[in-house]
């Protein structure tokens, strides 16, 4: 029998993308509910308990409640909310996190899907901390730019409302300047940092896409590492990863205004990592990804594939409008 998969919250931005990418597959049975009952508690409970695997695309409190419904059953769960990302009894669903993480995901019953910003920060920083190039106590700063779909339906409606005129902005709009962003705990927990980074997120006048930048002051790099050594560590860590691409260090003067388009990985499950040297010895780390691809829905499908025994790349696009060769 084909494994049965149910997406609880399939009309949200993450759920819609997961459903779109799974709907074309013939190796799973996608359970659904009619629109008139998709919010009914009893109907949702029945679907959750009937499924082999459930993907929760819900607000945090609703995700906690749904997870409790399945607590004493055999249904396996991938939670795309922030509710369980640092919980002790949940496995963090970032396959590229560290050696052994894939095996942990394969055997887990409870998997917490990573956030879009943390995925980029962790993949950039964790290998450097593991290699001793950056101290765990380093005071890091992260500036990140995301498409407005990252804020879910309320932000999408706000930015796409013609009366607001936000789509006509010619600059990015910083946000969360007066609070600790909800992604900070997982950034710290899984990157290996012991100090909270200064995180400055911003929204741009485009729907999807993300660029995350972490400047490393020359004094932060240990022991006197340079961009070449940083690149080597990242390349060695991710050389066999199908969805992580460590881009070549550009030649001096080899970049221009369009070199780092935050939408370059849109509609894919790819993340591109850049190492950019500065003449003063500083290094800029940069990641580009689709906040609804590798940043949310795509990595959830990676975990789903691992948990159900499929090839990890099954049904996931590597490049724009390109399907995995293993798509059934």
Catalytic residues: 116
Give 203's strand partners.
Answer: 146, 173
CA distances from 218 to 122, 275, 285 (A): 20, 14, 13
Let me know the angle formed at the C-alpha of 289 by 286 and 293, rounded to the nearest 5 degrees. Answer: 160
d(CA 184, CA 31): 34
Nearest one of 139, 138, 136, 155 to 147, comparing CA atoms: 155
Among 224, 227, 182, which residue's Cα sits nearest to residue 201?
A: 182
Phi, psi (rounded to 5 degrees) for 205: -80, 50
Tokens of 11: 């009309």
How far apart, in Å, are the Cα atoms of 237 and each of 67, 189, 246?
34, 19, 10
């Amino acid at each position: 029998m084909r494994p049965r998969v149910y997406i609880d919250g399939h009309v949200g931005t993450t759920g819609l993308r997961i459903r779109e990418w799974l709907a074309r597959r013939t190796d799973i049975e996608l359970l659904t509910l009619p629109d008139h009952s998709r919010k009914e508690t009893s109907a949702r409970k029945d679907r959750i308990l009937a499924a082999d695997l459930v993907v929760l695309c819900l607000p945090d409190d609703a995700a906690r409640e749904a997870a409790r419904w399945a607590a004493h059953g055999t249904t396996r769960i991938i939670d795309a909310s922030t509710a369980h990302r640092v919980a002790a009894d949940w496995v963090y669903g970032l396959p590229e996190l560290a050696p052994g993480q894939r095996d942990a995901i394969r055997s887990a019953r409870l998997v917490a899907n990573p956030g879009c910003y943390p995925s980029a920060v962790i993949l950039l920083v964790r290998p450097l901390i593991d290699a001793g190039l950056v101290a765990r106590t380093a005071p890091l700063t992260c500036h990140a730019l995301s498409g407005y779909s990252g804020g879910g339906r309320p932000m999408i409606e706000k930015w796409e409302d013609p009366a607001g005129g936000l789509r006509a902005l010619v600059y990015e709009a910083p946000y969360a300047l007066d609070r600790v962003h909800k992604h900070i705990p997982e950034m710290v927990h899984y990157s290996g940092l012991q100090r909270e980074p200064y995180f400055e997120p911003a929204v741009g006048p485009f729907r999807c896409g993300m660029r995350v930048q972490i400047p490393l002051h020359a004094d932060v790099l240990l022991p006197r590492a340079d961009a070449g050594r940083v690149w080597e560590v990242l390349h060695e860590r991710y050389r066999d990863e199908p969805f992580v691409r460590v881009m070549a260090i550009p030649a001096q003067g080899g970049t221009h205004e369009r070199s780092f388009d935050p939408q370059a990985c849109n509609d894919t499950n790819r993340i591109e990592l850049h190492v950019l040297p500065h003449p003063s010895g500083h290094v800029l780390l940069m990641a580009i990804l689709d906040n609804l691809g590798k940043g949310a829905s795509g990595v959830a499908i990676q975990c789903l594939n691992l948990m159900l025994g499929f090839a990890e790349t099954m049904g996931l696009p590597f490049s724009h409008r390109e399907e995995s060769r293993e798509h059934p």
